[in-house]
Amino acid sequence: MFDRKMTELGKERSAIRELFEYGNARKKQIGEEKVFDFSIGNPSVPAPACVEDEIVRLLQTEPAEKLHGYSSAAGLPAVRKAVASYIQTTFGVPMSEDLVYMTCGASASLVVALSALLRAGEEVVVPVPYFPEYAVFVDAAGGKLVPVSTDERFHLDLGAIERAIGERTRAVLVNSPNNPTGAVYAEEEMRALGEILAKKSAEYGAPVFLVADEPYRELVYGEPPVYPMAVYKDTVVLYSFSKSLSLAGERIGYIAVSPQCGHADELFAAVCGAGRAHGYVCAPVLFQRVAAACLGMVSDVGAYRANRDLLYTALSDMGYACIVPEGAFYLFVKTLEPDAKAFAEQAKAHELLLVPSDSFGVEGYVRVSYCVARETIERSLPAFAALYAHYRGARGDRRAPFRRK
């Protein structure tokens, strides 16, 4: 009756959203504190003070039309300028305000950038596991997602990426710090990726773009990640303030096209065209201004680190197999039976809401979002122990259930 693909997409709902809705209903039934909701990546720590300060300042000093009226389609010139100069000074790469497009968060950045880059049927190589919406966005842009394996720590398998790039490959899409694994790609890994892309671009006589989805850039527990534009010239960075400033509901981010891209102006024109075609013009103006005033500020990463340490140590001690996250706020845990969906269903019996890994492109894991109150993790530990005991008997049985294919 209506567009078949869109109807199916609407009815299907993402596994994450489905679980999130289930959690909300369940909390109403049995009480908020009895449900251990690790489903969604909603930042749990407050925005840094500069956010509220700037909102208040703007509301008190600026006329309404400067806060709630339209901006240029690509964003306010002063905001684009601030973003470009931030990128330039922080990461030491050339950047121009003419190549910055303000968007409604990383989702919009992905839709717009992929639509600008991809011609019908072109391929996007994506390391697995990946953020499930990539499949939706690549498909909506008329492309084909080509999954490639990662290594045992969920870092890049450069050989697999090289083998996956063919003449129809338009881009490699990477996400570091990674959702759902917490992997943060090392500088040498990114440089090696850049070299492969340069080699393949030369081989096929057309650029293979590096598309870097970076909503978690600042949420790292070690060295800050190298800036993608510093390792490869045909790079487009997609950024969002959803996580760094805990502003997920305000829908604000940007696309930055590297000035070193061949035909950067043409690519930026395509970005503007894609923004127009998808109705993503003029990102929320109040939050464009707030974000520009808070560039480089980050909400309390220490709280996420403490959650990571608590959860990782406790689950590892119980016998669960997982790799210590280097960034973001997700723990990717090997399931205790091969069917991740069945395992996540069993977890629900213990009021644990864990996202099965199938929609992330791999089998046999669940994602635990630890962007929750510390007490939630503390109170959930007996439930994790009971879930473990359900499968392996006595708590503390350390027979390794963990084998990556």
Instruction: Give the residues lining the site for ligand PLP (CB under 6 A).
Output: 41, 105-107, 131, 175, 179, 213, 215, 240, 242, 248, 253
Shortest Å distance, C-beta 342 to ligand PLP? 25
Residue nearest to ligand PLP (CB): 105
Q: Please, is 348 exposed, middle or buried when counting C-beta atoms within 10 Å of its C-beta (0-12, 13-18, 19+)?
A: middle
Residue 284 or 319 with smaller CB distance to ligand PLP: 284
Shortest Å distance, C-beta 255 to ligand PLP? 12
Residue 236 or 387 with smaller CB distance to ligand PLP: 236
Which residue in 251, 255, 187, 175 sits closest to 219, CA to CA? 175
Shortest Å distance, C-beta 107 to ligand PLP? 3
What are the helix and strand counts (H, E) for the chain?
Answer: 14, 12
Say if CB 235 and CB 227 are below 8 A apart. Answer: no
CA distance 194 to 312: 32
Shortest Å distance, C-beta 10 to ligand PLP? 18
222 backbone φψ class: left, alpha, beta (φ>0; ψ -120 to 50): beta
Shortest Å distance, C-beta 282 to ligand PLP? 17
Residue 215 or 228 with smaller CB distance to ligand PLP: 215
CA distance 144 to 312: 35
Q: Which residues pair with 169 in a beta bridge?
A: 123
- Strand ranges inside 187-311, DSSP E: 209-213, 235-240, 253-257
Residue 336 or 371 with smaller CB distance to ligand PLP: 371
> What is the number of other CB atoms lying within 10 angstroms of the CB of residue 147?
18
Residue 36 or 131 with smaller CB distance to ligand PLP: 131
Shortest Å distance, C-beta 213 to ligand PLP? 5
Residue 50 or 136 with smaller CB distance to ligand PLP: 136
Residue 87 or 387 with smaller CB distance to ligand PLP: 87
Shortest Å distance, C-beta 106 to ligand PLP? 3
Say if CB 282 and CB 75 are below 8 A apart. Answer: yes
CA distance 192 to 189: 5
Residue 107 or 246 with smaller CB distance to ligand PLP: 107
Say if CB 238 and CB 265 are below 8 A apart. Answer: no
Say if CB 302 and CB 370 are below 8 A apart. Answer: no
Shortest Å distance, C-beta 397 to ligand PLP? 33
Angle at Cα 115 formed by Cα 110 and Cα 116, nearest 5°? 105
